[in-house]
Structure formats: structure tokens, C-alpha cells
Amino acid sequence: MESAEDQNGKWGVTNRADGFLLAIESSCDETAAAVIDRRLTVLSNVVSSQHELHRDFGGVVPEIASRAHVRRIIPAIDDALRAAGVALDQLSAVAVTTRPGLVGSLLVGLTAAKTLALSLEIPLVDVNHVEAHLFASRMSAGREVFPAIGLVVSGGHTLLYDCVSATDFHLLGSTIDDAAGEAFDKGAKLLGLGYPGGPAIQRAALSGDAGAVRFPRPLIDSPNLDFSFSGLKTALLYEINGSSHGRAVLRDLPHERVYDLAASYQEAIIDVLAAKCRRALVRTGRTALCVGGGVAANARLRERLKSVAAELPIELVLAEPALCTDNAAMAAMAWELIDRQLFAPLEIDVTPGLLRPKR
Ligand code: KG4
Ligand code: ZN
């Protein structure tokens, strides 16, 4: 397989280095394309969400997601270029998420990106989706934010990183079972609140009492930086079933009880996230915390992390809500990779896990 050096040698950095980057993201259930310039100005950010296709299932169905990406990817790219007022021949590079994610979904974006890179003779840059979630906080800040501790909280991942630079991330901890977003989605399903679960629980929690039910805080006192959320979901199920000896009685629960359960459940997830961030900051001595991923849009989490930041004190860098959930603009971290001449060979494949395949 061709090495990065060979590829760089073939293409050079690009003779349109100050032009525009087209970024493509299709790792899960959003088909997204964005155009970003070298100063990280987002000229367009098109996100075609598939929530309506997956709602009845209470979660993303991989086969449905990849089929929808196939139909939507070219319109999303066209829309992004048109909205940015940028023509294909003004592009300097194409960035694409290659990992982690659903293989069928990732393949659609990668195929589109490879086709454009090859036909336009511009570099292809592979982006790690969770690192891009962290880079979203740097874009929102509008200035350098690394080194920092990075928390990625999404539907598929709950990860704590030591971010040495925008391209050098060291994993400190991760979930041993469900991700935080998954806990929100499954909890909302149990409570009959709909999909996606995070925004639904946040809404319901506003009318509830977060102290009504004392849910467990899994691993909160363990010295490691790992997370576990699956037991929390089981605890919620027991609360819903109550004294019915295991038979679901959701329809019999008064609205107020549902709101209290939503608020208490949300608080338990957030308590653990806040405690682990605090521990990572204290342990490493880092003075900044960057947060990204869909769950980072949660208003209560943002509030709690602000308290942690004020108490330590450290600098808190939250991705703005529009850049928390999946989007292609955050793949602007490709500019950092371009600066370091880290391009992808055209043979690059997708991978469902976090690691880039060996070349
Ligand atoms: O980052 P993202 O869009 O996709 C993945 O990479 O997984 O994250 C989606 C997750 C879903 O689980 C969704 O319920 C959750 O983010 N989410 C929220 C909120 N908005 C989205 N969770 C809590 N509160 C929110 N406001
Ligand atoms: Zn994501």
C-alpha cells in the first residue's frame, strides 16, 4: 500500500493551499457536507438528518442508514458547494470521516470523497469522527485550545482524551458498555419520550425534580476514567415497572412521574460525566476542558461543567450546540492534518473502530 509520503510526493500539499476544503461526514445517520476555508470559517454546513427514518425503531438501523446516505450524499455535497458559492475547481482538498462508525454508512461518504479527490486531482484527508467532535470546540472558540482534556459524548462513544495538540489525542478512558447518548436514547424509549432521546429527556427533565429518584452513579468512585451506563438503564426500567413485578406499566405513570424520572436519570448521567472530567483534569494538571459530541448540546451538562470549570478553576471550551451533533464542518480538523502533510492514500478503507488501519 502507498505510504503517506508517497502520496504527498505525488500530490504535494496542493497548489490551491489557500482555497477551500470540502468535508464529508456520513458515519452514522446524518448525511453531511460542509465547505470551510483555511481560517476555519464555515462557508456552508449542510446536514441531512435521517431521524424520521429511524424513529420507529428507537435507534439507528444500519441498513436503512446506508441506503439513505446513497440517495442523499450527492445532493448534500451540491447544496454545500452552492451555499458556499464555491465551485469544484476552487477546492484544495476533500476531507472525509473514515472512522469510527457504521461500515455501510462510512463507505458511502468515503466513496464520494475518493471520487472527487481522484477526478479533481486534489488531496484526500481522512478524519477520525470523535477527534472531529473535539475539534468542534476549537472551531467554536475561534482560537487555539489544545493542550486540553477532551470529553466526547455522543450516541456511540463516551471518551476522555488527553489532547496534546489538534492531531495528537491520547485515550484516558471510555465506556465499558453503553455510551452516554445511548443511555439517553434507551432511557427515552423506556419512558415513551421518543427519538432521539437526548433532546426528549432534556425537555421532559425541565418539568421534573432531579432529586426525586436516586439513580446509581456507575463507576463514579472508581479511580479509573472509564464509564458504564447500562446499569442505569436497568435501574430506570425497575423504577418504571415499580411494584408491577416486572410488567411495564408506563401507560399508568402520571406525567409528573415521567418528568421526575427523566430529570433524575439525566442528573445521574451528568453527575458521572462531570466527576470523571474533574478527575481527569486534576490527575493530568491540564488547565482546559474541551467538550464535543451530541450529548454536549445538553443544557444541564453544559451548566454542570461550567461549575466544575469555575471550581477548579480551568478553562471550559464547549462546542456550540450546532456543532455538537453530527456535522461535516467539524471535519475542518483536516486543515491541521494538511498542515502536517498527513494525507490519505486512495486505497484507504473505512473502519468501524477508533484506530486508523495500518498502511
Ligand atoms: O454526536 P452525535 O450526533 O452522533 C454520534 O456520533 O453518535 O450524537 C447523537 C447523540 C444521541 O444519542 C442523542 O440522543 C444525543 O446525542 N443528544 C443529546 C442531546 N442532543 C443530542 N443528549 C442529551 N441532550 C441533548 N440535548
Ligand atoms: Zn458523532
Give yes or no: residues 213 and 116 share one domain.
no
Count of domains observed in the chain: 2
Torsion of CA 185, 186, 187, 188, to 10 degrees: 50
Is residue 331 situated within a structural domain?
yes
Give the distance (Å) from ligand 2 centre to CA of residue 253: 33
Alpha-carbon span 289 to 273, nearest angstrom? 12
* Residue of 159, 184, 320 best suited for mutating to test ligand 1, as the one with most atoms within 8 Å of CB: 184
Torsion of CA 47, 51, 53, 55, to 10 degrees: 180
How is residue 230 written as a grid cell?
447500562
- Atom 16, ligand 1: residue with shortest CA distance: 294
* Residue of 49, 134, 154 best suited for mutating to test ligand 1, as the one with most atoms within 8 Å of CB: 154
Give yes or no: residues 42 and 114 share one domain.
yes
pLDDT tens digits, residue range 128-154? Answer: 999 999 999 999 999 999 999 999 999
> Can you tell me which atom of ligand 1 is nearest the CA of 325?
3
Quick check: 6 pLDDT over 60? no
Give yes or no: residues 245 and 115 share one domain.
no
Is residue 358 situated within a structural domain?
no
Give yes or no: residues 232 and 247 share one domain.
yes
Is residue 346 situated within a structural domain?
no
The residue among 278, 283, 269 whose CA lies nearest residue 314 is: 278
Reported pTM: 0.93
Quick check: 173 pLDDT over 60? yes
Is residue 354 situated within a structural domain?
no
CB 178 near ligand 1, within 6 Å: no
- Atom 3, ligand 1: residue with shortest CA distance: 325
Q: What type of residue is 87?
A: A
77 or 353: which leads in pLDDT: 77
Give yes or no: residues 208 and 330 share one domain.
no
Give yes or no: residues 161 and 306 share one domain.
yes
CB 295 near ligand 1, within 6 Å: yes
Give yes or no: residues 215 and 85 share one domain.
no
Q: Are 162 and 170 in contact (CB under 8 A)?
A: yes
Is residue 21 situated within a structural domain?
yes
CB 181 near ligand 1, within 6 Å: yes
The residue among 279, 268, 327 whose CA lies nearest residue 301 is: 268
Quick check: 3 pLDDT over 50? no
Is residue 298 situated within a structural domain?
yes
Give yes or no: residues 20 and 85 share one domain.
yes
Q: Looking at the CA of 193, which ligand is closest?
A: 1
> Can you tell me which atom of ligand 1 is nearest the CA of 179?
12
Give yes or no: residues 286 and 249 share one domain.
yes
User: Long-range CB contacts (< 8 A, 24+ apart) of 320-323?
Assistant: 320/136, 320/140, 321/297, 322/45, 323/136, 323/139, 323/140, 323/292
pLDDT tens digits, residue range 290-344? Answer: 999 999 999 999 999 999 999 999 999 999 999 999 999 999 999 999 999 999 9
The alpha carbon dihedral of 344, 349, 350, 356 has a sign of: negative
Give yes or no: residues 242 and 151 share one domain.
yes
> Can you tell me which atom of ligand 1 is nearest the CA of 27?
6
Alpha-carbon span 284 to 146, nearest angstrom? 14
> Can you tell me which atom of ligand 1 is nearest the CA of 196?
14
Quick check: 204 pLDDT over 90? yes
Is residue 350 situated within a structural domain?
no
- CATH code assigned at 158: 3.30.420.40
Give the distance (Å) from ligand 1 centre to CA of residue 346: 31
Give yes or no: residues 168 and 302 share one domain.
yes
- Residues of the domain holding 307: 147-320
Give the distance (Å) from ligand 2 centre to CA of residue 31: 12
CB 100 near ligand 1, within 6 Å: no
Give yes or no: residues 209 and 334 share one domain.
no
